[in-house]
Structure 1
Amino acid sequence: MTSSHADVSRRSASMPFKRFAAVTVGFAAMLAAQAAFSFGFEDVAEQAKTLSQRGYNAPQSNLSDPLSKLQYQDYAKISFKKDHAVWADQNLPFTLSFFHEGMHYNTPIKVNTINGEDVKAVKYSPDDFNFGDLKIDPEALKNLGFAGFKINYPINSERKEEVMVFLGASYFRVVGKGQRYGLSGRGLAIDTALSSGEEFPRFKEFWVVRPEPDDKYLTIYALLDSPSATGAYRYILRPGDDAVVDVQSQIYLRREVTKLGIAPLTSMFLYGPNQPSPSVNYRPAIHDSNGLAVNASEGDWVWRPLVNPKKLAVNSFQANNPRGFGLLQRSHNFRDYQDLDDRYDLRPSAWIEPQNGWGEGQVELVEIPTPNETNDNIVSFWRPTTSLQPGQPIDFNYRINWTTNEAKFHNPDLAWVTQTLRSRGEIKKTNLVREPDGTTSFVLDFVGPGLKALAPDANVTADISMGDNGELVSSNVERNPVFGGYRLELRMKPKDPAKPIDTRAFLKDGQGQRLSETWSNMLPSDA
């Protein structure tokens, strides 16, 4: 495991006739263009439905040596020639370039372009690639295909560069202005973290709509296939300071699925201030995301710091018809990472906003042990409670915001946790001496406009609850003048060191009114 909408403006009824006529003509032209546009989401959905009624045909590898045995450093030497990109010679805002098959990317995908009524397959040719110093005979590659593709757009300058990538199974990554690739989105997750093993659906075919010269968005259709499900997807990409991807999906199950993960996100967490590195490292944190945020309903917010557990951990958060959830990188300060190469401070968060009713369910978080940062070990998704029936279309539509401005997706009336710090617990013996007492200490800093506006003598306290295995030893809330918020310090110890401790805490005022989101934390066991 490692993980269209149209804006309609209201117009005045007193609009002059000539202007109204112009609008009418424009609307008629739009309808005519739509009529000429013969391929769309319904066509992919029909393919998904038909495919679901057949037995599953697993894709077969078409790679032979030496491509199949390439190590990452050699595979990275293969690059697509920029001047061979689709639409490179047409002065359009977007272009497409491609990944070559190789390494474990051993089954080709199909990529088509749509231009009005014209649907045309993009043909693979080894002449489109540079192979560096690899000793590969181009004549032996003519029956291969593409492993994935890149969408290029002038996001940071006039030069086009990658803003979205589809590569491997149903994985994709997106960046906004000034960002670096971090966590990934996925089309669908099936049976994640079950003992029976996870199933990885794959996008087998794509259709990309040729943009107009002044378009700020790009439309991509995708057909998903797996032993248990098929699906039709439409992605509308809008690059910008924050990238936005609108997703329309229609899923068909071939069989009942034990665990169906909707809008899955996959990320990496190695260590951070809430779980310091077990060995000395100059980098204070290594992670693509440091927490899961869930807005289960209006005003109901949960923040769960991520951990790298010693054994598989699965947690669920009730979320009927969720308003939003996501894996976030809440700190974008270089000093918190100190890594000039990987620039974790530039990794975006991904925030999911459902666009239709999803029904009863929960957001699930899966955390997997990992010894290094090369493995994605964090997965989150929404899981329906009700059993979904095979053969029936299942629609899940949502928006993904790829952002480094996480606060704009938070309830402004509630403070949020800006950092979680962990250390061994200590008891003060004198003004100069502290001694460890066998507890674990957490320090939480809450910030937000509401806290900053409180009077200096405001009575701010914490509501803290411990799981069955935790004992709260002490807690304290005090104003943090540096951050303009409040700091909660708490010490805890386990009843059974072989089991984790689950803790929930939030700030409240003197009248018992909630002031912050809920900090929901799991302290891994010593086992």
Structure 2
Amino acid sequence: MHLASITLLLCSAQVQAFSLDDVATKAKALSEKNYSAPASNLPVELSELPFADYQKIQPRPEEFEWSERDTPFKLSFYHQGMHFKTPVKINEVTATTVKEIKYDPKRFNFGDLKFDQQATKNLGYAGFRVMYPINQQGKQDEIMSMLGASYFRVIGKGQVYGLSARGLTVDTALPSGEEFPYFREFWIERPKPQDKHLVIFALLDSPSASGAYRFTLRPGQDAVVDVQAKVFLRDSVGELGLASLTSMFLFDPKQPPKQHSFRPALHDSNGLAIHAGNGEWLWRPLNNPKNLAVSSWQVENPKGFGLLQRGREFSRFEDLDDRYDLRPSAWIEPKGDWGKGRIKLVEIPTQDETNDNIVAFWTPEKLPKNGQPLEFAYRMHWTLDEPALHQPDNAWVAQTLRSAGEDKQANLIRQLDDSIALLIDFEGPALAKFTQDAAPSSQVSVGDNGKLMENSLRYNPATQGWRLTLRIKVKDPEKPVEMRAALVDGDQSLSETWSYQLPAHTATSR
């Protein structure tokens, strides 16, 4: 064997000597100790920065990590400030070393902010960004952000930031109150010049759990992130959320805003898609409810789930500044069998788009004993290609519309009848063989709190699909109504299942 080959093998072995197991050892040790909350080291002039002033602190491109190296990946850092009060430790992993990337105020442009420069000398980084020339050769674009608790965001080519992912959620929407685990330390492998991926390790901590994570980021038209994790419980939890996604839904045509807006819709995602282990596909349109709403689906060995931005025409949003039409969907593809559990959706009331009010995650039926690892892995797709995220030969829900229900009288005048109308447009190749004279059938179920007044299906020549119209009378407006609908041909399913919760107070407020 050539000397160069031997050297390469030795270097590879040394890099592999730092692995997920090394982080897992640290996580297990943390879980065996009492939790110690991180202490703020911020001076007052930085901890009380308003958002606009915090935004003035920007990284200097010439000071990006690896800026002097021949690699397409670079790192820039977030400065501490505002509510980012505690530093996270960030390390670089090479073939021979594991070395902390020390804080240096020279990496930042502070704009016109005035404060004692000595106040920053003992600070750290609040998080980091991954830079990569995804849109134009030689131009560094931000493609991943790790900032705050266990949150991270990723984008592919031509995308802008929208929804976020989280390493772990604990007791989300439970009366006990939610816990927010945080990444306290990172290890990032220095990429080689030819590398098309970046490996990031993270150590997670919280009062109830600790964890070890390995993220492998692959930039491209779609961004792909492979996640491996080992989580250790140090205390009992009500509910553990894995592969968590957080998004924002404010309004759309099925739930318009109280005050008129030039934007027909405003959301980072408009639905939860589920590919169940039994092969069933479900689509749950999102709501901005009056009160906290929680939905869940019992699933064994899920094949995939995600929060999607389904329908990307600019005319759906009409927003030149925030470009909601370019915000990615995030799809979770589990690796291996995850067993029995639930996919859970939490919808929180919000009055503006600055609040992420949607959370979706997988929660396993059984949790390990304290000190025993919960191991799981999945692949994340950050994409604008929603058609790739449903069964290609099936039909899917293109949109859901809502209005006050009305009955067309004999004199052709429409009269409101105190019902709620929901119009669901189905499209897809499974419907191509049907004509107005030989239509598919609709299979509809409505929960006990609703009475089905109309169930009609008609051909939609504009989309070459079918529109299902449901009229529902709500019995108790203080409670929601659960509904399901699908298109069938005899006993053969033609479409994904539309699974919707009409929020409480809908009949009286809209």
- Bin for the TM-score computed over the shorter chain: over 0.9
Q: SS at the partner of 2:493?
A: coil
In 2, are the aligned partners of 1:39 and 1:117 still within 8 Å (CA)? no
**Which of the residues 103, 111, 123 maps onto 1:132?**
111
Deviation for aligned residue 1:298: 4.3
Alignment of 1:16-35 (within 5 A): 31-35=9-13
Q: SS at the partner of 1:319?
A: strand
What amino acid is the match of 1:184?
S
The equivalent residue for 1:177 is 157
- State whether structure 2 residue 179 is matched by structure 1 residue 199: yes
CA distance in 2, matches of 1:404, 1:447: 18
In 2, are the aligned partners of 1:256 and 1:388 still within 8 Å (CA)? no
- State whether structure 2 residue 412 is matched by structure 1 residue 444: no
Q: Deviations over 1:132-187 (max 9, x none)?
A: 11112222100111011000000000201100000000000000100010000000
The equivalent residue for 1:461 is 441
Q: Deviations over 1:425-451 (max 9, x none)?
A: 111125652121111101111111221
**Which of the residues 43, 50, 71 maps onto 1:64?**
43
CA distance in 1, matches of 2:388, 2:438: 26
In 2, are the aligned partners of 1:296 and 1:318 still within 8 Å (CA)? no
Alignment of 1:56-455 (within 5 A): 56-158=35-137, 159-430=139-410, 432-455=412-435
CA distance in 2, matches of 1:390, 1:242: 37
In 2, are the aligned partners of 1:170 and 1:188 still within 8 Å (CA)? yes
What amino acid is the match of 1:482?
A
Q: Deviations over 1:206-261 (max 9, x none)?
A: 01101111111100000000111110000000011110000000011101211000
The equivalent residue for 2:478 is 498
CA distance in 2, matches of 1:454, 1:352: 33
CA distance in 2, matches of 1:31, 1:467: 62
Please report the RMSD computed on the Cα atoms of aligned residues, expressed in angstroms.
1.6
What amino acid is the match of 1:293?
A
What amino acid is the match of 1:292?
L
Deviation for aligned residue 1:366: 0.4
Q: Deviations over 1:103-155 (max 9, x none)?
A: 00000000011110211111111111111111122221001110110000000
CA distance in 2, matches of 1:97, 1:474: 57
The equivalent residue for 2:459 is 479
CA distance in 1, matches of 2:315, 2:411: 30
What amino acid is the match of 1:205?
E
Q: Deviations over 1:302-337 (max 9, x none)?
A: 111100111111111111111100111101111001
What amino acid is the match of 2:273?
A
Runs of 4+ in 1 over 6 A off after TM superposition: none
In 2, are the aligned partners of 1:299 and 1:411 still within 8 Å (CA)? no
In 1, are the aligned partners of 2:156 and 2:221 still within 8 Å (CA)? yes
Q: Specify every segment of 5 or more residues in structure 1 that has no aligned partner in the other structure, as ranges.
A: 1-20
Seq. identity, %? 55
TM-score by length of 1: 0.93
Q: Deviations over 1:337-380 (max 9, x none)?
A: 11111111011000001112211101000000101111000001
Q: Deviations over 1:369-414 (max 9, x none)?
A: 1011110000010011124311101101000100111111211232
Deviation for aligned residue 1:33: 3.5
The equivalent residue for 1:36 is 14
CA distance in 2, matches of 1:453, 1:206: 54
- Compare 144-153 and 489-498 and name the one that shifted more: 489-498
What amino acid is the match of 2:63?
H
Deviation for aligned residue 1:30: 6.4
Deviation for aligned residue 1:458: 2.9
- Compare 128-137 and 218-227 and name the one that shifted more: 128-137
In 1, are the aligned partners of 2:308 and 2:386 still within 8 Å (CA)? yes
**Which of the residues 483, 500, 512 maps onto 2:491?**
512
In 1, are the aligned partners of 2:434 and 2:440 still within 8 Å (CA)? no
What amino acid is the match of 1:74?
D
**Which of the residues 21, 25, 34 maps onto 1:55?**
34
CA distance in 2, matches of 1:92, 1:317: 44
CA distance in 2, matches of 1:471, 1:312: 24
CA distance in 2, matches of 1:118, 1:503: 57
Q: SS at the partner of 1:111?
A: strand
Deviation for aligned residue 1:455: 4.9
What amino acid is the match of 1:359?
G
Deviation for aligned residue 1:31: 4.5
What amino acid is the match of 2:110?
F
CA distance in 2, matches of 1:452, 1:32: 59
What amino acid is the match of 2:422?
F
What amino acid is the match of 1:325?
F
CA distance in 1, matches of 2:194, 2:411: 67
The equivalent residue for 1:6 is none
TM-score by length of 2: 0.96
In 2, are the aligned partners of 1:165 and 1:174 still within 8 Å (CA)? yes
CA distance in 2, matches of 1:498, 1:199: 29
Q: SS at the partner of 1:150?
A: strand
Residues 431, 482 of structure 1: alpha-carbon distance in 2 compared, 3 angstrom cutoff: farther
CA distance in 2, matches of 1:415, 1:53: 50
Q: SS at the partner of 1:487?
A: strand
In 2, are the aligned partners of 1:245 and 1:400 still within 8 Å (CA)? yes
Q: SS at the partner of 1:66?
A: helix
What amino acid is the match of 1:425?
G
The equivalent residue for 1:4 is none
Q: Deviations over 1:488-508 (max 9, x none)?
A: 111101111111111100001
Residues 144, 481 of structure 1: alpha-carbon distance in 2 compared, 3 angstrom cutoff: same
Residues 114, 344 of structure 1: alpha-carbon distance in 2 compared, 3 angstrom cutoff: same
Q: SS at the partner of 1:414?
A: coil
CA distance in 2, matches of 1:322, 1:244: 19
Q: SS at the partner of 1:156?
A: coil
CA distance in 1, matches of 2:428, 2:323: 26
